A and B are shown apart, each in its own frame.
Chain A
Amino acid sequence: MNKPSDDELVAAVASGDEAACRALMDRHLTRMLALARRMLGNHADAEEVAQEVFLRVWTHAGRWEPGKAQFGTWLHRVATNLCLDRLRRRRGTEDIDAIPEPASGEPGPDRQLEQRELAARVEAALQNLPERQRAAIVLSHYQGLGNIEAADILGVTVEAVESLLSRARRQLRVALATEKDELLRSREISA
Protein backbone atom coordinates (compact mmCIF):
# COMPACT_ATOMS: atom_id res chain seq x y z
CA MET A 1 0.00 0.00 0.00
CA ASN A 2 1.31 3.46 -0.93
CA LYS A 3 2.17 5.85 1.84
CA PRO A 4 -0.15 8.84 2.00
CA SER A 5 1.32 12.05 0.63
CA ASP A 6 1.98 15.03 2.89
CA ASP A 7 -1.03 16.77 1.35
CA GLU A 8 -3.28 13.82 2.19
CA LEU A 9 -1.97 13.71 5.74
CA VAL A 10 -2.51 17.45 6.20
CA ALA A 11 -6.11 17.11 5.02
CA ALA A 12 -6.64 14.28 7.52
CA VAL A 13 -5.02 16.35 10.28
CA ALA A 14 -7.50 19.15 9.56
CA SER A 15 -10.37 16.73 10.14
CA GLY A 16 -8.90 15.68 13.50
CA ASP A 17 -7.39 12.34 12.46
CA GLU A 18 -5.06 11.32 15.31
CA ALA A 19 -3.10 8.79 13.25
CA ALA A 20 -2.44 11.40 10.56
CA CYS A 21 -1.09 13.84 13.17
CA ARG A 22 1.26 11.16 14.44
CA ALA A 23 2.34 10.16 10.92
CA LEU A 24 3.07 13.78 9.95
CA MET A 25 5.15 14.22 13.11
CA ASP A 26 7.01 10.95 12.50
CA ARG A 27 7.84 12.17 9.00
CA HIS A 28 8.95 15.73 9.77
CA LEU A 29 9.45 16.49 13.46
CA THR A 30 13.00 15.10 13.75
CA ARG A 31 14.10 17.08 10.69
CA MET A 32 12.57 20.31 11.98
CA LEU A 33 14.23 19.75 15.34
CA ALA A 34 17.61 19.14 13.65
CA LEU A 35 17.24 22.32 11.59
CA ALA A 36 16.47 24.38 14.70
CA ARG A 37 19.27 22.73 16.68
CA ARG A 38 21.88 23.65 14.06
CA MET A 39 20.48 27.16 13.76
CA LEU A 40 20.16 27.87 17.48
CA GLY A 41 22.84 25.71 19.05
CA ASN A 42 20.85 24.19 21.90
CA HIS A 43 18.25 21.48 22.26
CA ALA A 44 15.74 23.34 24.48
CA ASP A 45 15.35 26.28 22.06
CA ALA A 46 15.23 23.85 19.15
CA GLU A 47 12.34 21.94 20.77
CA GLU A 48 10.45 25.21 21.29
CA VAL A 49 10.82 26.09 17.61
CA ALA A 50 9.86 22.58 16.46
CA GLN A 51 6.79 22.80 18.69
CA GLU A 52 5.86 26.19 17.27
CA VAL A 53 6.21 24.84 13.72
CA PHE A 54 3.81 21.98 14.40
CA LEU A 55 1.33 24.14 16.30
CA ARG A 56 1.17 26.21 13.12
CA VAL A 57 0.57 23.05 11.12
CA TRP A 58 -2.31 22.13 13.44
CA THR A 59 -3.75 25.66 13.12
CA HIS A 60 -3.38 26.07 9.35
CA ALA A 61 -4.08 22.48 8.22
CA GLY A 62 -7.66 23.34 7.24
CA ARG A 63 -6.47 26.13 4.95
CA TRP A 64 -3.67 24.13 3.29
CA GLU A 65 -4.06 24.11 -0.52
CA PRO A 66 -2.69 20.84 -1.95
CA GLY A 67 -0.44 21.28 -4.97
CA LYS A 68 0.13 24.98 -4.40
CA ALA A 69 3.43 24.42 -2.57
CA GLN A 70 5.50 21.54 -1.24
CA PHE A 71 4.52 20.93 2.37
CA GLY A 72 8.14 20.10 3.28
CA THR A 73 9.38 23.39 1.82
CA TRP A 74 6.68 25.29 3.72
CA LEU A 75 7.77 23.59 6.94
CA HIS A 76 11.41 24.51 6.30
CA ARG A 77 10.43 28.11 5.59
CA VAL A 78 8.41 28.41 8.81
CA ALA A 79 11.16 26.79 10.89
CA THR A 80 13.93 28.89 9.31
CA ASN A 81 12.02 32.14 9.84
CA LEU A 82 11.23 31.24 13.45
CA CYS A 83 14.93 30.55 14.07
CA LEU A 84 16.03 33.80 12.39
CA ASP A 85 13.44 35.74 14.45
CA ARG A 86 14.73 34.12 17.62
CA LEU A 87 18.34 34.91 16.71
CA ARG A 88 17.43 38.57 16.06
CA ARG A 89 15.70 38.82 19.44
CA ARG A 90 18.64 37.08 21.06
CA ARG A 91 21.01 39.65 19.52
CA GLY A 92 19.28 42.42 21.47
CA THR A 93 19.78 40.69 24.81
CA GLU A 94 22.95 38.81 24.03
CA ASP A 95 24.73 37.35 27.01
CA ILE A 96 28.37 37.13 26.02
CA ASP A 97 28.76 33.96 28.08
CA ALA A 98 25.97 32.29 26.10
CA ILE A 99 27.94 32.44 22.85
CA PRO A 100 29.79 29.16 22.37
CA GLU A 101 33.54 29.51 22.54
CA PRO A 102 35.30 28.93 19.24
CA ALA A 103 37.27 25.74 18.95
CA SER A 104 40.21 25.96 21.28
CA GLY A 105 42.52 24.04 18.95
CA GLU A 106 46.01 22.85 19.54
CA PRO A 107 45.38 19.68 21.46
CA GLY A 108 48.40 17.53 22.29
CA PRO A 109 49.72 15.41 19.43
CA ASP A 110 48.93 12.14 21.23
CA ARG A 111 45.50 13.23 22.39
CA GLN A 112 42.63 10.94 21.49
CA LEU A 113 39.71 13.14 20.54
CA GLU A 114 36.39 12.45 22.16
CA GLN A 115 33.62 12.41 19.58
CA ARG A 116 31.48 14.57 21.82
CA GLU A 117 34.14 17.21 22.13
CA LEU A 118 34.63 17.32 18.39
CA ALA A 119 30.90 17.64 17.88
CA ALA A 120 30.78 20.54 20.34
CA ARG A 121 33.53 22.33 18.42
CA VAL A 122 31.71 21.91 15.13
CA GLU A 123 28.56 23.26 16.73
CA ALA A 124 30.43 26.22 18.16
CA ALA A 125 31.92 27.01 14.75
CA LEU A 126 28.45 26.84 13.21
CA GLN A 127 27.05 29.20 15.84
CA ASN A 128 29.78 31.71 15.05
CA LEU A 129 28.68 31.99 11.43
CA PRO A 130 26.60 35.00 10.40
CA GLU A 131 22.90 34.05 10.53
CA ARG A 132 22.23 34.00 6.77
CA GLN A 133 25.30 31.90 6.07
CA ARG A 134 24.30 29.53 8.85
CA ALA A 135 20.77 29.26 7.45
CA ALA A 136 22.15 28.51 3.98
CA ILE A 137 24.49 25.74 5.15
CA VAL A 138 21.82 24.26 7.44
CA LEU A 139 19.31 24.10 4.59
CA SER A 140 21.77 22.81 1.99
CA HIS A 141 24.22 20.59 3.88
CA TYR A 142 22.21 19.40 6.90
CA GLN A 143 18.67 19.39 5.51
CA GLY A 144 19.75 18.34 2.00
CA LEU A 145 17.60 20.87 0.14
CA GLY A 146 18.41 21.87 -3.44
CA ASN A 147 19.72 25.35 -4.23
CA ILE A 148 16.39 26.46 -5.75
CA GLU A 149 14.44 25.40 -2.66
CA ALA A 150 16.97 27.03 -0.31
CA ALA A 151 16.86 30.25 -2.35
CA ASP A 152 13.06 30.22 -2.20
CA ILE A 153 13.08 29.78 1.59
CA LEU A 154 15.69 32.49 2.16
CA GLY A 155 14.09 34.84 -0.36
CA VAL A 156 17.28 35.25 -2.42
CA THR A 157 18.59 34.13 -5.82
CA VAL A 158 20.33 30.77 -6.35
CA GLU A 159 23.55 32.72 -7.01
CA ALA A 160 23.19 34.40 -3.62
CA VAL A 161 22.66 31.00 -1.98
CA GLU A 162 25.85 29.69 -3.60
CA SER A 163 27.73 32.75 -2.39
CA LEU A 164 26.39 32.33 1.17
CA LEU A 165 27.38 28.65 1.11
CA SER A 166 30.90 29.35 -0.20
CA ARG A 167 31.54 31.95 2.48
CA ALA A 168 30.08 29.73 5.20
CA ARG A 169 32.22 26.74 4.29
CA ARG A 170 35.33 28.90 3.94
CA GLN A 171 34.83 30.33 7.43
CA LEU A 172 34.10 26.87 8.84
CA ARG A 173 37.22 25.43 7.19
CA VAL A 174 39.34 28.09 8.86
CA ALA A 175 37.62 27.63 12.25
CA LEU A 176 37.82 23.84 12.09
CA ALA A 177 41.23 23.38 10.44
CA THR A 178 42.66 21.73 13.53
CA GLU A 179 39.56 19.63 14.08
CA LYS A 180 39.71 18.32 10.52
CA ASP A 181 43.23 17.08 11.04
CA GLU A 182 42.28 15.61 14.41
CA LEU A 183 39.30 13.85 12.90
CA LEU A 184 41.51 12.37 10.22
CA ARG A 185 44.07 11.25 12.78
CA SER A 186 41.42 9.70 15.05
CA ARG A 187 40.02 7.82 12.06
CA GLU A 188 43.44 6.57 11.12
CA ILE A 189 43.99 5.39 14.69
CA SER A 190 40.63 3.62 14.88
CA ALA A 191 41.07 2.07 11.42
Chain B
Amino acid sequence: MRNEMTLERLREIVEAYGASPARWPQGERSMAEALASSSPEAQSLVAEAARFDALLDMAPAEEPSAALTERLMAARPRAVAPLVPARPQKEKGFLRGLLETVWPYGSAAFPAGTLAAALVMGVALGSASDISLSLTGTAVTASTETETGEGLIALAMADQVWPEEWMQ
Protein backbone atom coordinates (compact mmCIF):
# COMPACT_ATOMS: atom_id res chain seq x y z
CA MET B 1 0.00 0.00 0.00
CA ARG B 2 1.24 3.50 -0.82
CA ASN B 3 1.46 6.22 1.81
CA GLU B 4 0.81 9.09 -0.56
CA MET B 5 -1.22 9.69 -3.65
CA THR B 6 0.32 11.47 -6.58
CA LEU B 7 -1.40 12.77 -9.66
CA GLU B 8 0.54 10.24 -11.69
CA ARG B 9 -0.71 7.34 -9.56
CA LEU B 10 -4.27 8.68 -9.72
CA ARG B 11 -3.95 8.77 -13.52
CA GLU B 12 -2.87 5.10 -13.50
CA ILE B 13 -5.80 4.18 -11.28
CA VAL B 14 -8.34 6.04 -13.39
CA GLU B 15 -6.95 4.68 -16.66
CA ALA B 16 -7.27 1.13 -15.33
CA TYR B 17 -10.40 1.21 -13.17
CA GLY B 18 -12.36 4.15 -14.56
CA ALA B 19 -13.96 7.07 -12.76
CA SER B 20 -15.93 5.33 -10.03
CA PRO B 21 -14.06 5.26 -6.69
CA ALA B 22 -15.98 2.07 -5.83
CA ARG B 23 -13.83 0.23 -8.40
CA TRP B 24 -10.52 1.72 -7.26
CA PRO B 25 -8.11 -0.40 -5.16
CA GLN B 26 -9.42 -0.39 -1.62
CA GLY B 27 -6.07 0.45 0.00
CA GLU B 28 -5.63 3.61 -2.08
CA ARG B 29 -9.25 4.66 -2.41
CA SER B 30 -9.52 7.28 0.31
CA MET B 31 -6.24 9.01 -0.67
CA ALA B 32 -7.21 8.95 -4.34
CA GLU B 33 -10.64 10.39 -3.55
CA ALA B 34 -9.06 13.12 -1.45
CA LEU B 35 -6.77 14.11 -4.31
CA ALA B 36 -9.59 13.90 -6.86
CA SER B 37 -11.69 16.33 -4.84
CA SER B 38 -8.88 18.83 -4.18
CA SER B 39 -6.96 19.09 -7.44
CA PRO B 40 -8.53 20.60 -10.61
CA GLU B 41 -6.22 18.49 -12.76
CA ALA B 42 -7.30 15.34 -10.94
CA GLN B 43 -10.94 16.36 -11.35
CA SER B 44 -10.40 16.71 -15.07
CA LEU B 45 -8.88 13.20 -15.23
CA VAL B 46 -11.83 11.70 -13.42
CA ALA B 47 -14.40 13.60 -15.52
CA GLU B 48 -12.78 12.38 -18.73
CA ALA B 49 -12.82 8.79 -17.44
CA ALA B 50 -16.50 9.18 -16.46
CA ARG B 51 -17.40 10.06 -20.06
CA PHE B 52 -15.65 6.96 -21.29
CA ASP B 53 -17.36 4.84 -18.60
CA ALA B 54 -20.73 6.11 -19.86
CA LEU B 55 -19.85 4.94 -23.35
CA LEU B 56 -18.75 1.50 -22.09
CA ASP B 57 -22.01 1.20 -20.15
CA MET B 58 -23.89 1.19 -23.44
CA ALA B 59 -22.74 -2.39 -24.22
CA PRO B 60 -26.00 -4.33 -24.36
CA ALA B 61 -27.14 -6.90 -21.82
CA GLU B 62 -30.67 -8.28 -21.75
CA GLU B 63 -32.77 -9.74 -18.97
CA PRO B 64 -32.95 -13.56 -18.76
CA SER B 65 -35.69 -15.00 -20.96
CA ALA B 66 -38.73 -16.67 -19.40
CA ALA B 67 -37.68 -19.90 -21.14
CA LEU B 68 -34.29 -19.87 -19.37
CA THR B 69 -35.91 -19.32 -15.99
CA GLU B 70 -38.41 -22.12 -16.66
CA ARG B 71 -35.68 -24.54 -17.78
CA LEU B 72 -33.68 -23.85 -14.64
CA MET B 73 -36.68 -24.23 -12.35
CA ALA B 74 -37.53 -27.53 -14.06
CA ALA B 75 -33.99 -28.79 -13.41
CA ARG B 76 -33.79 -27.61 -9.80
CA PRO B 77 -33.05 -30.08 -6.98
CA ARG B 78 -36.13 -31.77 -5.50
CA ALA B 79 -36.76 -32.75 -1.91
CA VAL B 80 -36.47 -36.54 -1.65
CA ALA B 81 -39.07 -38.13 0.67
CA PRO B 82 -37.57 -40.98 2.73
CA LEU B 83 -38.73 -44.42 1.54
CA VAL B 84 -39.22 -45.62 5.15
CA PRO B 85 -40.41 -42.99 7.60
CA ALA B 86 -38.07 -42.65 10.54
CA ARG B 87 -39.46 -44.09 13.78
CA PRO B 88 -38.77 -42.48 17.11
CA GLN B 89 -36.19 -44.27 19.24
CA LYS B 90 -37.77 -46.21 22.11
CA GLU B 91 -36.29 -46.68 25.57
CA LYS B 92 -34.28 -49.90 25.58
CA GLY B 93 -35.21 -52.51 28.17
CA PHE B 94 -32.71 -54.83 29.87
CA LEU B 95 -33.58 -57.79 27.63
CA ARG B 96 -33.34 -55.69 24.45
CA GLY B 97 -29.99 -54.29 25.59
CA LEU B 98 -28.72 -57.82 26.21
CA LEU B 99 -29.95 -58.97 22.79
CA GLU B 100 -28.25 -56.06 21.09
CA THR B 101 -25.00 -56.91 22.86
CA VAL B 102 -25.15 -60.50 21.55
CA TRP B 103 -26.50 -59.54 18.10
CA PRO B 104 -25.51 -55.94 17.22
CA TYR B 105 -26.53 -56.28 13.56
CA GLY B 106 -30.09 -54.95 13.78
CA SER B 107 -33.20 -56.88 14.68
CA ALA B 108 -32.59 -60.06 16.70
CA ALA B 109 -35.73 -61.63 15.22
CA PHE B 110 -33.84 -63.18 12.32
CA PRO B 111 -31.20 -65.12 14.31
CA ALA B 112 -33.85 -66.04 16.90
CA GLY B 113 -36.18 -67.36 14.19
CA THR B 114 -33.34 -69.29 12.56
CA LEU B 115 -32.45 -70.89 15.90
CA ALA B 116 -36.10 -71.85 16.55
CA ALA B 117 -36.45 -73.31 13.04
CA ALA B 118 -33.29 -75.35 13.51
CA LEU B 119 -34.66 -76.74 16.78
CA VAL B 120 -37.99 -77.67 15.18
CA MET B 121 -36.28 -79.31 12.22
CA GLY B 122 -34.01 -81.26 14.53
CA VAL B 123 -36.91 -82.59 16.63
CA ALA B 124 -38.97 -83.40 13.52
CA LEU B 125 -36.11 -85.19 11.83
CA GLY B 126 -35.34 -87.17 14.95
CA SER B 127 -38.88 -88.40 15.46
CA ALA B 128 -39.44 -89.12 11.75
CA SER B 129 -36.33 -91.27 11.47
CA ASP B 130 -37.46 -93.26 14.50
CA ILE B 131 -40.77 -94.04 12.80
CA SER B 132 -39.27 -94.94 9.46
CA LEU B 133 -36.61 -97.13 10.96
CA SER B 134 -39.14 -99.01 13.01
CA LEU B 135 -41.14 -99.68 9.86
CA THR B 136 -38.25 -100.96 7.78
CA GLY B 137 -36.67 -104.05 9.06
CA THR B 138 -33.53 -103.72 6.98
CA ALA B 139 -32.52 -100.54 8.68
CA VAL B 140 -33.37 -101.29 12.28
CA THR B 141 -29.76 -101.55 13.20
CA ALA B 142 -29.25 -97.97 12.14
CA SER B 143 -31.18 -96.69 15.13
CA THR B 144 -28.42 -97.91 17.37
CA GLU B 145 -25.62 -96.67 15.18
CA THR B 146 -26.65 -93.13 14.38
CA GLU B 147 -23.30 -91.72 15.49
CA THR B 148 -21.37 -93.83 12.98
CA GLY B 149 -20.91 -93.53 9.22
CA GLU B 150 -22.78 -96.78 8.71
CA GLY B 151 -25.70 -95.39 10.61
CA LEU B 152 -25.87 -92.38 8.31
CA ILE B 153 -25.81 -94.64 5.22
CA ALA B 154 -28.59 -96.75 6.66
CA LEU B 155 -30.59 -93.60 7.34
CA ALA B 156 -30.12 -92.50 3.74
CA MET B 157 -31.28 -95.91 2.47
CA ALA B 158 -34.30 -95.78 4.72
CA ASP B 159 -35.23 -92.47 3.09
CA GLN B 160 -36.19 -94.35 -0.03
CA VAL B 161 -39.33 -95.78 1.56
CA TRP B 162 -40.75 -92.50 2.80
CA PRO B 163 -42.50 -91.34 -0.33
CA GLU B 164 -44.50 -94.58 -0.54
CA GLU B 165 -45.62 -94.18 3.02
CA TRP B 166 -46.68 -90.59 2.41
CA MET B 167 -48.73 -91.74 -0.55
CA GLN B 168 -50.79 -94.14 1.54
Contacts and interface: CB of A to CB of B under 8 A. Distances in A.
Interface of A: 13-18, 21-22, 25, 29-30, 33-34, 37-38, 43, 47, 50-51, 54-55, 58, 61-62, 115, 118-120, 122-123, 126, 137, 140-142, 144, 146-148, 158, 162-163, 165-166, 169-170, 172-173, 176, 179-180, 183-184
Nearest to B22: A144
A169 B52 contact: yes
A166 B79 contact: no
A128 B81 CA distance: 51
Contacts of A142: 56, 59, 61
A18 B16 contact: no
Nearest to B54: A183
Interface stretch (B70-78, B91-99, B126-134, B155-163): B70-78
Contact of B58 (A58, A115, A146, A163): A115
Interface residues of B, number: 34
A158 B15 CA distance: 15
Contacts of B69: 25, 29
16 contacts: A13-B77, A14-B77, A15-B79, A21-B72, A33-B62, A33-B64, A37-B61, A43-B62, A55-B72, A61-B77, A122-B58, A123-B60, A162-B16, A166-B16, A179-B55, A180-B55
B5 to A, nearest CB: 15
Contacts of A33: 61-64, 68
Given A47-B64, A122-B56, A180-B52, 18 more contacts: A15-B77, A16-B79, A18-B73, A21-B72, A29-B72, A37-B60, A50-B64, A51-B72, A119-B58, A140-B17, A140-B23, A146-B26, A147-B17, A162-B25, A166-B12, A166-B16, A169-B15, A180-B51
B65 interface: yes
A119 B77 contact: no
A179 B51 CA distance: 11
A126 B59 contact: yes
B30 to A, nearest CB: 15
Q: Is the interface of A mostly helix, strand, loop or mixed?
A: helix
A137 B65 CA distance: 25
B59 A18 contact: no
Nearest to A126: B59
Given A25-B69, A146-B26, A141 B76 contact: no
A33 B63 CA distance: 8
A122 B55 contact: yes
B102 interface: no
A22 B80 CA distance: 19
B41 interface: no
